[in-house]
Amino acid sequence: MKKPGVFGTLDPFMEGGPILGRRVANVGFLRALFARDPFEAYHFFIADKPLRDSLAAALAEFAPEMAQAGRFVLMDRRELPARMADTAYACFHQSDCINYPTHIARLRNAVSPELFPVTGPMHSLSYPDFPAAFLRHLWAGATGRDCIIATSEAGRRATEAFFDQLRAGYGLAHIKGPSIRLVPLGIDPEKAESPPPGREEKAALRAELDLPQDRALILVLGRLSHASKMDLLPLIRAMSGLFAPPKGEAAPLPPSAVSLVLAGWADEGDAFPQSVVEMGARVGLDVRLELRPGEKRKLRLLRACDIFVSIADNPQETFGITLLEAQAAGLPVVASDYDGYRDLIAHGETGLLVPTTGPAPAAPDDMVDMLAPLLFDNQYHLLLAQRTAVDAAALRAALARLLADAPLRGRMGRAGYERVRAHYLWPDIIERHLNLWDELWSLPAPDIETLRRVPHPLQLPYSRIFASYPTRTLNPADRLRPARAGRALLAGKEHPIVYAGLDGFIQADDIRKLIFLARKGETAGALAERFRELCPGLGTDAAAFHILWSLKHDLLEPET
């Protein structure tokens, strides 16, 4: 049974470029939403025609039956006011909480019959311009039905910290802002269909991937960047410590007993991945480098290896989809106790969390804070990551424990597989979104009529800001009459020429009505009022737009 209403968005949810967690999550969300298909229709308001055409082709391939049935409607964003006014939207959902949700909410407040939920998840939160983005959420027109979806508990607390900082800095303690709810990301069910591989399957995969058969394989999968993901030098040092442990610790691990597989995305020309290979060689560690593996090869690597390691130390990381993929493949995980990672790993049950130490909350003159807005993303993220320490001794101990105990690896791998299947598959996450949208609808909300004219302080009021640019501004007392082209229009000898891109703003038939109303001369204020009476649903600003456009095109002129 379909939920009443239509799903709306300004996002395509599908984008090219590097395989990043955000992009993988957005495609997974859309695929699972269409598989569940809970809504009457799906409206995509996309910025330009090439993007709409590209998305239409992708949707036809993605969900052919729904596309053939006309369930997807792709529109220009300039159609938003009209569609919001006449469509019963169940929700508007963005792929990110940053870019458009508050502007969607302002337009909803102005034209929609109802306060439908406006939602979007958080992804990376550590960009220095994000305080300004979160400030947009703190305005008088925000309601509890506007919701930021935190994907991790650490991310939820960081989002609340953003709002605390902004309320204190701008004197906004009285502004409640949007709701914040916790809904994690997920992975496709296909990735958890097969149970953890047995010894024979692992051997066959290793032969296919040209990986050694006679040693334990540790896999690192993700962005291979010390500036934007994780510093791998502590991992190399930990392995070196296993080969030559401090006095009193376990017996040395022979270097021939283990290999490290580095797989993932690196920028063209980035020397970091190869430098990790060389650092490994210097301590006797065999390091295999797999740059940009395709999806099928990535899944084979996960099932071929024995331990998954991710020691994220960078605030750009918020969730950790690769940790779910690793557990779905039956791998025990050694991960830093950092950000959303601690939500995904049951310590001692599905893997081992390694403690981390970060800086104490800084004074207002923290140099990195001041520099970050002036630097490139990789520059300030490197500074931030290098002052977050992963406990070296605990990392070494976690690796030693799992490398020495194959049965423990198997138990943790199976537990992780079951945990992912129970809590982190996209169909279940979609149900949580549906429940969230139902909850948001149930929250008390102000009468929408009281919000119609509440402006958003960070939306540019063009006519007011740029009022000094023209010689004069339109005054309700200005008297207007048909100009030369307007008189020709009334005589049927002229036709309005309306540019593409003005659809929904200027209507040729309405222009004829406007010029007819002005035929005996009329003040601009009275003309706008009579014009609105003749064109039901036309707003004050739209009436003024038609009058100014007619003046521009010599259809109206001032009476002299």
Averaged pLDDT, 165-174 = 95
Contact 179, 440 (CB under 8 A): yes
3-state secondary structure (DSSP) of residue 308: strand
As beta bridge partners, residue 390 has 356
The answer, yes or no, to whether residue 419 has pLDDT greater than 80, is yes
Which residues make Cβ contacts (< 8 Å) with residue 432, sequence separation at least 6?
A: 183
CB 4 within 8 A of CB 399: no
Alpha carbon dihedral 5, 10, 12, 16, in 10-degree steps, equals -160
* Centroid of chain to Cα 333: 26
Q: How far apart are CA 241 and CA 246, in angstroms?
A: 7
CA–CA separation, 2 and 255 (whole Å): 58
What is the per-residue pLDDT for 16? 62
Query: Which residues are CB-contacts of 189 (< 8 A; sequence separation ≥ 6)?
Result: 425, 426, 427
Residue 228, pLDDT > 90, answer no
Amino acid at 357: T
Residue 267's pLDDT is 82
| Structure-token pair, residue 451 | 């919000």
Neighbours of 249 (CB within 10 A): 13
For residues 97 and 120, the answer to whether their CB atoms sit within 8 Å is: yes
Confidence band of 360 (pLDDT split at 50, 70, 90)? confident
CB of 410 closer than 8 Å to CB of 315 = no
* pLDDT above 90 coverage of the chain, percent: 86
Share above pLDDT 70 across residues of the chain, in percent, rounded to a whole number: 98
pLDDT > 80? residue 3: no
Cα three-residue angle 495-497-502, rounded to 5 degrees: 135
Query: Residue ranges per domain, the chain?
Result: 3-186+431-451, 204-421, 465-558
- Specify burial of residue 123 (Cβ count, 10 A radius: 0-12, 13-18, 19+): buried
What is the predicted pLDDT for the residue at 501? 86
Q: Which residue has the tokens 């709409």?
A: 52
- 331 contacts 416 by C-beta, under 8 angstroms: yes
Query: Over 50: is that where the pLDDT of 159 sits?
Result: yes
Q: What pLDDT digit, counting tens, does each position of 495-552 carry?
A: 999 998 888 889 889 999 999 999 999 999 999 999 999 998 888 999 999 999 999 9
Where does the pLDDT of residue 17 fall: very low under 50, low under 70, confident under 90, or very high at 90 and above?
low
Give me the DSSP letters along 184-235: ---B-GGGGSSPPP-HHHHHHHHHHHT--SSSEEEEEES---TTTT---HHH
Element (H, E) at 4: strand 3-9
Distance CA 30, CA 255 (A): 45
Q: Find the angle CA(64)-CA(70)-CA(73) to the nearest 5 degrees.
A: 105
**pLDDT class for 101, splitting at 50, 70, 90?**
very high
Nearest to 309 by CA among 394, 385, 251: 394
What rounded mean pLDDT belongs to the chain?
A: 93
Question: Could you tell me the two tokens for 373?
Answer: 């807005």
What is the structure's pLDDT at 385? Answer: 93
Contact by Cβ (8 Å): 329, 302: yes
Least confident of 10-14, 104-108, 234-238: 10-14
Structural fold of domain 3-186+431-451: Rossmann fold (3.40.50)
User: Is the CB of residue 211 less than 8 Å from the CB of residue 254?
Assistant: no
Residue 216's CB is within 10 A of a number of other CB atoms, namely 19
Checking if the pLDDT of 207 tops 60, the result is yes
Q: How far is CA 359 from CA 206, 388, 504, in A?
A: 42, 7, 53
Q: Which among 432, 227, 426, 246 is positioned nearest to 316, based on CA atoms? A: 227
Secondary structure percentages of the chain, helix, strand, coil, to 5:
45, 15, 40
CATH topology of domain 204-421: Rossmann fold (3.40.50)
Contact 9, 45 (CB under 8 A): yes
* Mean pLDDT confidence for 284-313: 95
Residue 1: is its pLDDT beyond 50?
no
Q: Does position 363 have pLDDT exceeding 80, yes or no?
A: no
Q: What is the pLDDT of residue 376?
A: 93
Note whether 3-186+431-451 and 204-421 share their fold: yes
Assess whether pLDDT exceeds 70 at residue 2. no
Q: Confidence class of residue 264 from pLDDT cuts 50, 70 and 90?
A: very high
pLDDT for res 21: 67
- Strands 356-357 and 351-354, bridge-based pairing: unpaired
Tokens (6 digits) for 366? 């923290």
**SS3 letters for 408-420?**
HHHHHHHHHHHHH
Going by pLDDT thresholds of 50, 70 and 90, the confidence category of residue 173 is very high
Closest of 494, 323, 289, 511 to residue 424, by C-alpha: 323
- What mean pLDDT comes out for the span 207-232? 93
Which of 43, 130, 46 lies closest to 88, judged by CA?
A: 43
Q: Indicate the DSSP class of residue 347.
A: B
pLDDT digits 0-9 by tens, 303-358: 999 999 999 999 988 999 999 999 999 999 999 999 999 999 999 999 999 999 99
